[in-house]
Amino acid sequence: MEGDRDDRDLKAWRGLWDRASRPVALTGAGISVASGLPTGSAKWNGIALRELFTRRRFEEAPGVFFACYRDWLWKWREAVPNPAHAALAEAGVPVVTLNVDGLHRRAGSVLCLELHGRLSELICPACGLLVQGDRAFKETVPHCPDCRRILQPNMVFVGEPVRHFAEAVDLVGDADLLLVVGTRLDVAPVNQFPAVAGRKGIPTIRINRRAERLLPALIAR
């Protein structure tokens, strides 16, 4: 029974949590499923998002790219943080996230390293102007109001280097407990974080499902 297994896991994890003074959470798409958001396997008009959100697709067909972007932005901005996001924020746990949904910040997490950026923002690759993604609803292909270059989402395209990686490694390396929530960490370089923790003897708790129930139950003191 899943409920019994959850209770056993919580009993085993609680001692680790109670002894931790510097926990760090590493989160992926699974933590936002309870907020109604998709995992990385989602598709748009039959095309996998991992294929659409590439720089090649963006540069070759910006109109198609932004049609997808508008659909997903509309869906994602309606999502609200769930109890898992809220539990981490309320406990003041620093977060390293693979997500671009911004839900950790909306929940109140102060220290939040967004390795893949933020879907809700557009940035000019030429002058660096940052604007809200809603501009994509005003132009089929949104352009920078200053220099007229095509804007792009303020996020990392699939296959490109993540942001804040060195800072995230330092954060994980200084922790005394690593919470891995909603991600299998099956891609580089983020799959290195458990090894960083392991080399320093930092215990790891992995929660891949039902984080909206398990995290609040674990963190509540």
Angle at 198 between CA 192 and CA 204, to 5 degrees: 90
Q: Which of 104, 116, 143, 164 is catalytic?
A: 116
Give yes or no: 116 in active site: yes
Task: Kindly give the pairing relationship between strand 112-114 and strand 177-181.
Answer: unpaired
Q: Could you tell me the CA-to-CA distances from 9 to 6, 37, 216 in Å, in that order? A: 5, 25, 13
Q: How far apart are CA 132 and CA 179, in angstroms?
A: 31
Q: How far apart are CA 144 and CA 131, in angstroms?
A: 9
Assess contact for 207 and 182: CB atoms under 8 A: yes
Assess contact for 35 and 103: CB atoms under 8 A: yes
- Strand locations in 80-184, DSSP E? 95-97, 112-114, 117-123, 130-132, 152-155, 177-181
Q: How far is CA 67 from the centre of its chain?
A: 22
So which residues are the catalytic ones?
Answer: 116
